[in-house]
Copies of this chain bind each other. A is one copy, B any other.
């Protein structure tokens, strides 16, 4: 089977691991994308909970936050990411989603005007590339792929200095495709005028590791992280993007990851029922339309 729908647990933040797994299985899904904070009893125990319910893990969220400027922060980030790599391996997923981090939030540069924000986005990007290179051998040893996630440019300052699929592919380019990939998250990249060609490039280069769907809602939420919406409620053209993803050869699970006050608060069974219907109506036909041809 291809294009299996997967619940990313960011969509149901009030559920613990057992609850998220149970809801996912009861909804008839085969995959779940896990956030690390749910692994309270360790990855091995979580792997048993998941497999006992007949599910597979589509991805682990997340590694990253690699922009620290000081040696101590860099060492801590490497240690944290190595742990995330071990957990992904234990969970039986190859895909570790990487949110690379923004300008160092806590870093205050002492200049002529006293403390001010760090604004060296080029420097932060260079440090991400350096840390990534240091993690690649460890990830390869564990047969885990570091999946670079370009985030919407509205998060460039505080969350990810990686803003476009092109930039992610360029950063991945020096490393084996089996070890460094990219994820297409519709919320983050829908606006990119070069999206079609970049998704095709990701496919050609063998780096299209994950497809995450949710909508881009307006107005932007008071907490900008929670502007994501259920497919069909916002402005994303799921038919076009899904077609490009399938044309690029992607056949893996499709995760629904929605940070949204209202959806996150509502009954998880309702969320799962709605996302199944919207996925079947708005996303799957375009994936299958291509998938049946390739």
Contact = CB atoms under 8 A, between A and B. Distances in A.
Interface stretch (A71-79, A187-195, A261-269): A187-195
Contact of A191 (B156, B216, B224): B156
Chain B CB within 10 Å, residue with most, of A122, A193, A223, A234: A193
A284 B136 CA distance: 42
Interface stretch (A1-9, A35-43, A113-121): A113-121
A117 B190 CA distance: 15
Given A235-B117, A237-B119, A163 B103 contact: no
A40 to B, nearest CB: 30
A158 to B, nearest CB: 6
Interface in A103-137: 103, 113, 116-117, 119-122, 125
Contacts of A235: 103, 117, 119, 121, 157
A167 B192 CA distance: 9
B103 A154 contact: no
Interface in A153-187: 153-154, 156-158, 163-164, 166-167
A154 B220 contact: yes
A224 B234 contact: no
Interface SS, A side: loop
Contact of A153 (B113, B120, B152): B152
Given A153-B191, A193-B163, A224 B220 contact: yes
Interface residue range, chain A = 35 or more
A122 B202 CA distance: 20
| Complex copy number for this chain | 2
A120 B237 contact: yes
Given A218-B157, A220-B224, A222-B222, A125 B237 contact: no
Given A153-B152, A157-B235, A236-B119, A193 B220 contact: no
A222 B281 CA distance: 33
A237 B152 contact: no
Given A117-B235, A119-B235, A235-B157, A164 B152 contact: no
A274 interface: no
A220 B220 CA distance: 9
A206 interface: no
Nearest to A105: B218
Contacts of A240: 122
Contacts of A113: 232, 281
Interface string A258-281: 000000000000000000000001
B237 A121 contact: yes
Contacts of A122: 237, 240
Nearest to A158: B218
